[in-house]
A = this chain, B = another copy of it.
Amino acid sequence: MISVGIVGGTGYTGVELLRLLLRHPQVTVRTLTSRTEAGKRVDEMFPSLRGQTSLEFSDFNIDTLKACDVVFFATPHGVAMKHAEELVSSNTKVIDLAADFRLQNLDNFEKWYGMPHACPELLKSSVYGLSELNREQIKQAQVVGNPGCYPTTVQLGLAPLLKQQNLIQEESIIIDAKSGVSGAGRKASLGMIYTENADNFKAYAVAGHRHQPEIIEALEGISGKKDVFNHLVFVPHLVPMIRGMLSTIYVDLTAEGEVTDIQKLYELFYENEKFVDVMPVGALPETRSVRGANDLRIALYKPQPKKLVIVVVQDNLVKGAAGQAVQNMNLMCGLAEDTSLTGIALSP
């Protein structure tokens, strides 16, 4: 059995990790930390877990964590990087669900997250945990930076195009993204209360969102091209729903792209992927089709000869966060990649 620690278990990624890990046949969750809730039973905070575990939140204890095989950080940005080196030194694998190991560019990290990076050396050897694209490196990794939710949809939505040269005009990319409210976490703030979000729709962070540099760096990595994605436009919106994320991506095709069978390109690219579903021509992906599941669905449209529209849906808390983290843990530990991730989406 793999012994697991979770740091920061009071947020939505924390409880989602527990939902997946408490049913994982090769995992024991050994410790779950919370600065504020130490001593409280986790099922008292999350009644959905009543009868599933007798775990209590405990204070952060580095020795307990070092005794684990894998430690997940479901914490705010800046926590994992303070402890990762010590954990790695005792052969504990680290998966950070925050941003500490997402950006290789240290200036970008400092600019967007407001702090210098605490372990630049370890960052270099860490792996960006987009499971489908970086599978082999993840298998070898000691530290994985789990991708942001929006970047996951964009990368899997564009990868088949970018792995080819000359299909799209890279500077034309526009990402109009929509997220359910759980993407903002579990925080007591006025802007997040029910009455401010229900029956309402809005854009936010139009001036710049932290996921934009992550997207750009990732697309550069996938395509091997530098500086062509800097003019990308990314506008996130907030949807009055709990879970779910849909990104509508607009790209201009090149002459070569125009004559390429894009649908087939995607189908082939993902044909062996269990969690990526290229939907048939004409299909309309809905976020509820992945509610609670680790699936990500893609549909492709050509409303104009030179324009491609890519629609991607996922559950932001599963494939966009905790599910992909477990997928990465499975890879890092040599388990079947889909262990504990085969749950079917809740419909309706």
Chain A residues near B (Cβ < 8 Å): 12, 15-16, 18-19, 22-23, 46-52, 174, 176, 178, 180-182, 186-190, 192-204, 206-208, 231, 233-235, 237, 239-244, 246, 248, 250, 274, 277, 279, 282-293, 295, 297, 301, 303-304, 306-307, 309, 311, 313, 342-348
Contact = CB atoms under 8 A, between A and B. Distances in A.
A6 to B, nearest CB: 15
Contacts of A246: 201-203, 237
Contacts of A204: 284
B286 A206 contact: no
A243 B197 CA distance: 13
Contacts of A186: 190, 193, 195-196, 348
Contact of A193 (B193, B208, B343): B193
Contacts of A344: 18-19, 22-23, 48-49, 52
A285 to B, nearest CB: 7
Q: Which 4 A-B pairs have the closest CB atoms?
A: A48-B345, A48-B347, A47-B289, A202-B286
A62 to B, nearest CB: 28
A241 B242 contact: no
A126 B246 CA distance: 40
Count chain B CB atoms within 10 A of each CB in A194, A277, A279, A295 and give the residue with the most: A194
28 contacts: A19-B347, A48-B346, A49-B344, A50-B277, A50-B289, A176-B176, A176-B250, A178-B178, A180-B199, A182-B195, A186-B190, A186-B195, A186-B196, A188-B193, A194-B197, A194-B198, A198-B242, A199-B243, A200-B244, A200-B286, A200-B287, A201-B246, A202-B286, A203-B246, A231-B307, A233-B304, A233-B307, A240-B241
A201 to B, nearest CB: 5
B285 A203 contact: yes
A284 B193 CA distance: 17
Given A51-B295, A190-B186, A241 B200 contact: yes
Contact of A198 (B199, B283, B289, B346): B199
